[in-house]
Amino acid sequence: MPARILLVDDERGFVDTMAKRLENRGYTVGVAYDGPQALAALDGDVWYDVVVLDVKMPGMDGNEVLKAVKADHPLVEVIMLTGHATVESAIEGMKSGAFDYMMKPCNLEDLVSKVEDAYDKKQAHENKILEARARHIVLRRGD
């Protein structure tokens, strides 16, 4: 099953175009145009694997959204995306748990590759959790 991606950026044209391009590749894609919409989407009915998140947004910026995502949805991987990259914002994002950091405009192939890597990491974490739970159950039952 392909990764479920949430695109978050205040540039509607970018989000809508990128969403269509990713959907054409078989991904399930949700969109949000600001931080509060992104957090509401993550708390909604669709379970997202990877968030592609713009750093510079009015109101709640990407680093604030990243911190909230990691606090409430720690297994969701976040790829930070910006046209205004600075070393400081990249370091802050990585310290806060971002999977990776990319410059806009980005090549679609590069973004897809990062999304797949982030999805693989999320899947590996989920598998480790399931294995630990299974071991715990076995140990409790004495099998």
pLDDT tens for 96-134 read: 999 999 988 889 999 999 999 999 999 998 888 888 877
| Structure tokens given for 98 | 């971002």
Q: How many CA atoms lie within 13 A of 20 on its CB side?
A: 5
pLDDT digits (tens, 9 = 90+) for 37-53: 999 999 998 899 999 99
Contacts of 18 (CB under 8 A, 6+ apart): 7, 52, 108, 111
Strand partners, 80: 53, 101
Amino acid at position 101, single letter: Y
Residue 107, Cα to own-chain centre: how many angstroms?
Answer: 17
